[in-house]
Amino acid sequence: MATPRTIIDKIWDAHAIVTRVDGDTLLWIDRHFVHEGSHHGFGQVAARGARVERPDLTFGVADHYAPTRPNAVQSPEVRAMVAKLDANTRTHGVRNFGIGDPRRGIAHVVAPELGLTLPGLAIVCGDSHTSTHGALGAYAFGIGASEVAHVLMTQTIWQSRPRRMRIRVDGALTPGVAAKDMALALIERLGAGYARGCAIEYAGSAIRGLSIEGRLTLCNLSIELGSRLGLVAPDETTFAYLRDRPFGPGGAAFEAAVANWRELASDDEAAFDVDIAIDGAAIPPTVTWGVNPEQAAPITATVPDPDRAPDPLKAEAWRDAIDYMGLRAGMKLTEIRVDRVFIGSCTNSRIEDLRAAAAVLTGRKAVVPGLVSPGSMTVKRRAEAEGLDRVFIDAGLEWADAGCSMCVGMNGEEVPPGERCASTTNRNFKGRQGKGSRTHLMSPAMAAAAAVTGHLTDARPLLAGRRP
């Protein structure tokens, strides 16, 4: 009898070429996504007089430096980054979804919606949030500049085999609670470095109840839990999402692919190194109060008191975060006023996210300025066909083009020093959205609620009687 295996083992074994004495394994890579920041890797290829080994498996996407406003003022350095991507992909015959391409957007939004991301594939990109693609059952992780060069030249990468972690979330999420709340609640409960050295499989009825958009959000934030990747075994929801995607298999090939994808699920007796169970029904709307995703709490909670921290290191971290964020211990999170909102990023910029925000905003006015940036131009067109753009504009928010935008503070799309932003992004580090900026992470519905009230707000009363 074959030893029971997890989905993590199955995909790893299918891509392993050779294992060295030190235990590292050379893995074959099915998809390599490059963006403006990948010019370092292309530079190493040029310096060696080499070529891209598999341009047909490499895809360029302009996202980090792509302007999302028609009047965006781009520095010469930023324009040069976009131009380098165009030049490098053209030189090596790589398909590029660059500026002007109607399919362009954020790599981790574009690839799934085009069918470039498929179950069982090994996927890399020079961006830590490549873990997003695990939502479709792919083994996907971010890599560094030297690794980008190695993949470009060999279509392979050396990796050490991770430990296997399963996080089971059972029970149904309550109305008004989204995948973003689930992810933040997990990070707050387990700790930002808890999954270091592990690959995560998300399982359980609450995970199965998520749409693909929700799973993409959850897997996106795996890196903030300490893991390089998180994935969900493909199921009927996955197959329905992938049918008729432009770059996916079609016709009889699709049915054959589904038969293979079904086999990826972890075997019933497969062993995990770490196994965690969470009650989905107990997850509340969650927001961050501090300067990393672990410093989060239910919206009904208060800013924690460092004097009651479990250890001196955490107490010091809490004091530092409270000072930087301009808060005080014991204040209600709902007392925290915001200066602006941002709805976008590879975490929460898909059509489902925009619908959730629009459900709160319909017929209401924002009392603070805000920017809504869809994750791809495809998402933008769909949102406009549904009239969501009018909801945002009528509420007083700015409707932009696709790109990373305010998540990384590019092209002038920044949070001014000292200002506080209710954001659907993935990181609330100091200065992440601009020097001196203060970021509170939350779901799209919660960001919309903050927009109409001017402070951190429980979105559930504002969603009563409404459906995204």
CB 441 within 8 A of CB 423: yes
Which stretches does DSSP call E strand in 210-346? 229-231, 274-279, 286-288, 296-298, 340-343
| 117: helix, strand or coil | coil
Give residue 191's pLDDT. 96
Residue 81 burial class via C-beta count within 10 angstroms: exposed 0-12, middle 13-18, buried 19 and up: buried
Residues in the chain: 468
Give residue 467's pLDDT. 78
Residue 360 corresponds to which tokens in the numbers above? 């709160």
Q: Which domains does the chain have, with CATH numbers?
A: 7-275 (3.30.499.10), 286-463 (3.30.499.10)
Which residues have a Cβ under 8 Å from the Cβ of 119 and sit 6 or more positions away?
136, 137, 138, 234, 238, 242, 261, 264
Query: CA torsion angle for 318, 320, 322, 325 (degrees, to 10)?
Result: -140
- What does the pLDDT look like over 199-252, one tens digit per residue? 999 999 999 999 999 999 999 999 999 999 999 999 999 999 999 999 999 999
Give residue 412's pLDDT. 85
Q: What is the pTM of this model?
A: 0.97
Choose among 243, 230, 24, 45: nearest CA to 139: 230
Residue 358 corresponds to which tokens in the numbers above? 């629009």
- What does the pLDDT look like over 43-92, one tens digit per residue? 999 999 999 999 999 999 999 999 998 877 678 888 899 999 999 999 99
Give residue 466's pLDDT. 85
Give residue 161's pLDDT. 97
Q: How far apart are CA 441 and CA 342, in angstroms?
A: 10
DSSP string for residues in 77-98 = HHHHHHHHHHHHHHHHT-EEE-
CB 447 within 8 A of CB 349: no
Give residue 70's pLDDT. 80
Give residue 410's pLDDT. 83
Regions of the chain with pLDDT less than 50: none
Strand ranges of the sheet holding 163-170, from the earlier edge strand across to the other edge: 229-231, 198-203, 163-170, 274-279
Q: How far apart are CA 441 and CA 461, in angstroms?
A: 19
Which residues have a Cβ under 8 Å from the Cβ of 448 and sit 6 or more positions away?
341, 343, 356, 357, 358, 359, 360, 361, 459, 462
